[in-house]
Amino acid sequence: MEMTGAQVLVRSLLQMGVDTVFGYPGGAIMPVYDALFNEDGLRHILVRHEQGAAIAAEGYAKALNKVGVCIATSGPGATNLVTGIADAMLDSIPIVCITGQVNSFLIGTDAFQEADIIGMTLPITKWNYQISKATEIQYIISKAFHIAISGRPGPVLIDITKDAQQELLQFDLSQINVFDYSPDLIDEKFYFKAAQLINQAQRPFILAGHGITIAEAEAELEGFINLTGIPVACTLLGLSAVNPEHHLYVGMLGMHGNYAPNILTNEADLIIAVGMRFDDRVTGSLKSYAVNAKVIHIDIDRAELNKNVKADVPICGDAKVVLNQLKQHVIPRNHDSWVKRFKELYQIEHEVVISNETQKKDIGLIKMAEVINLLSKKTDGNAIIVSDVGQNQMTVARYYDFKNPRSHITSGGLGTMGYALPAGIGAKVAKPNTEVIVVCGDGGIQMNIQELAVIAQENLNLKIIILNNEYLGMVRQWQELFFDKRYSFTELLNPNFQKIAEAYSIPSLRVDDHSLLSQGIDQLLQAKTSFLLEVMVEKQGKVFPMVEAGSGVGDVRLQ
């Protein structure tokens, strides 16, 4: 059958199992958009800014553990994707970005809307490629999907010149493609050594990261901790890998993580890191990190082993496979007195921080933690929460009890403000029957506020909570603690969010009093359509505990 390159591209996407794409049309991608017109098998979500497309594809990919796809035109369309691509690179999210490019004979002539997007995205993609002949399309698209999802997932960008999109070719759907990329294999020799350390350890401690949810190894991890009796803490992106009600779950690691897992990292004699990369927000100062511990590091990316923390036993492999293998070599044990240490320290944290933050008071302004705690109870931890970046993100991570895998979606590595709304749209499109709630600050919502239009146009039942403290809260917190209370450009004069919601036909409510909070959340959850709830929260609110930048995890402060 004779087809244009653009039609082949759409066929190839369908062949890869794609049913949803996020995108924005423009000059150099018009042949593709023409091929998308009336294409029933492919749902196209029209965003309002290309950054929204890339981030929505991420939200979609995270919610489903499947490749997300976004489409943009050349030049500014492509450069607008860059933040989302960098975000996907740091958080290991499989997305395939398809960008239009000017005609191949115009490349290098500074043509209208020409940008060297291949050069620009080299350091922030797992792989990128420019297609200038229609015959390449099918093979390159299948290779792109294979690279994006295999090994450690990541973003792939495919740039297609306009003439390749328009070129006619004979297309045979039954063509079989061969790949020439295979990620690292597993080092089996280390299992025995790792098991020996685990069987001998007195105070072992598991750090579970994003790799668990990517590998869908939640059940394997639970089986492993049940057998070995080792306490487990999650990183920010690892949250939702372990049910928070599990008796061996001890909380979140890192700068604003729980008190016990941070302090006890330095008391542990064995650290078993699974699918995490010892990010500086987790380790604090490396000089005083895990000072008494031997380290078993399990990661699928060989380049992460020995990168930040030297591993005594590095194991390169998929978390699911490795945990299953390790399980066969370890003996059943329990570490009751060691686990008790975590519970004791949790009590301290509860008295000093948590009870104070979450309990309802009659006077004063609402605290962020109070909102999230109430939301967690009312949804029974079963909603997908998409948080932005900053205090709202840390509060969600600390106070929402994620009961289902992949129910916590946030920008971890890059810390992209404006992430929550488009990622929430992506997650809602991916899981229309699950309650998806976007939680963001008054700063972050304004960074991609144009995407509210997508909610209206696609008739999405997406819930939005704005925790409004009229400040860039996390920066303000740092200014208060470390910059002598010089609040340089962090105070925001905000628009009327309810009027904005109204303009996009989204019902809304503003809550500024404790007595109305519970009712407000009920109204949000009961709404049959999308809903925006603006909660006025304490301006001076700070997230604690906190490991100051540059200090060790042992120096975590409670106030």
Partner 1 sequence: MNMYVMMLITQNTLCMLQKVAGVYSRYRINIEHLNASRHSESLSYWNVVVNTSDEKMELLINQLKKIVGLVEVKVIDKMPLSETVKSVINDKF
What does the alpha-carbon distance between residue 3 and residue 7 come to, in Å, rounded to a whole number? 6
Looking at beta carbons only, is 79 or 461 nearer to partner 1?
A: 79
Looking at beta carbons only, is 198 or 295 nearer to partner 1?
A: 295
Number of residues binding to partner 1, judged by CB under 8 A: 15
Residue 54: count of CB within 10 angstroms of its CB = 32
Q: Does 301 bind partner 1 (CB under 8 A)?
A: yes
From 24-32, 37-45, 305-313, 353-361, span contacting partner 1 (CB under 8 A): 305-313
Q: Does 181 bind partner 1 (CB under 8 A)?
A: yes
Question: Taking the complex as a whole, how short is the minimal distance between the CB of residue 103 and partner 1, in angstroms?
Answer: 17
Question: Taking the complex as a whole, how short is the minimal distance between the CB of residue 302 and partner 1, in angstroms?
Answer: 6
Looking at beta carbons only, is 158 or 455 nearer to partner 1?
A: 158
Q: Does 302 bind partner 1 (CB under 8 A)?
A: yes
What does the alpha-carbon distance between residue 256 and residue 235 come to, in Å, rounded to a whole number? 10
Cis peptide leading into 432, omega within 30 of 0? no
Q: Does 123 bind partner 1 (CB under 8 A)?
A: yes
User: What is the SS3 assignment for 4?
Assistant: strand
Q: Does 286 bind partner 1 (CB under 8 A)?
A: no
Which of 10, 288, 339 shows the shortest CA–CA distance to 160? Answer: 10
Residue 261: count of CB within 10 angstroms of its CB = 28
Q: Does 487 bind partner 1 (CB under 8 A)?
A: no
Looking at beta carbons only, is 118 or 475 nearer to partner 1?
A: 118
Which of 195, 207, 428 shows the shortest CA–CA distance to 332? Answer: 195
Task: Look at the block and give the residue holding tokens 């994620």.
Answer: 402
Q: Does 496 bind partner 1 (CB under 8 A)?
A: no
Catalytic residues: 50, 112-113, 162, 474
From 49-57, 298-306, 451-459, 505-513, span contacting partner 1 (CB under 8 A): 298-306
User: What is the SS3 assignment for 209?
Assistant: coil
Task: Look at the block and give the residue holding tokens 């320290």.
Answer: 345
Looking at beta carbons only, is 303 or 549 nearer to partner 1?
A: 303
Give the single-character DSSP code of 138: H
Binding mask 125-164 for partner 1 (x = CB under 8 A): -xx--x----------------x-----------------
Give the single-character DSSP code of 151: S
Q: Does 332 bind partner 1 (CB under 8 A)?
A: no
Does the CA dihedral 353-354-357-360 come out positive or negative? Answer: negative
Q: Which of 307, 327, 377, 403 binds partner 1 (CB under 8 A)?
A: 307
CB half-sphere exposure, 221, CA atoms < 13 A = 35
Question: Taking the complex as a whole, how short is the minimal distance between the CB of residue 183 and partner 1, in angstroms?
Answer: 9
**By CB under 8 A, what part of segment 63-122 binds partner 1?**
118-119, 122
Question: Taking the complex as a whole, how short is the minimal distance between the CB of residue 282 and partner 1, in angstroms?
Answer: 19
Q: Does 480 bind partner 1 (CB under 8 A)?
A: no
Question: Taking the complex as a whole, how short is the minimal distance between the CB of residue 215 and partner 1, in angstroms?
Answer: 18
Looking at beta carbons only, is 197 or 316 nearer to partner 1?
A: 316
Question: Taking the complex as a whole, how short is the minimal distance between the CB of residue 132 and partner 1, in angstroms?
Answer: 10
What does the alpha-carbon distance between residue 384 and residue 395 come to, in Å, rounded to a whole number? 15
Which of 522, 508, 524, 532 shows the shortest CA–CA distance to 440? Answer: 532
User: What is the SS3 assignment for 531?
Assistant: strand
Which of 163, 238, 183 shows the shortest CA–CA distance to 208? Answer: 238
Question: Which residues are CB-neighbours of 453 under 8 A, at least 6 positions away?
Answer: 48, 504
Residue type at 168 in one-letter notation: L
Q: How do 2-4 and 168-170 pair as beta strands?
A: antiparallel
Question: Taking the complex as a whole, how short is the minimal distance between the CB of residue 160 and partner 1, in angstroms?
Answer: 15
Looking at beta carbons only, is 161 or 479 nearer to partner 1?
A: 161
Applying CB under 8 A, which residues contact partner 1? 118-119, 122-123, 126-127, 130, 147, 181, 301-303, 305-307
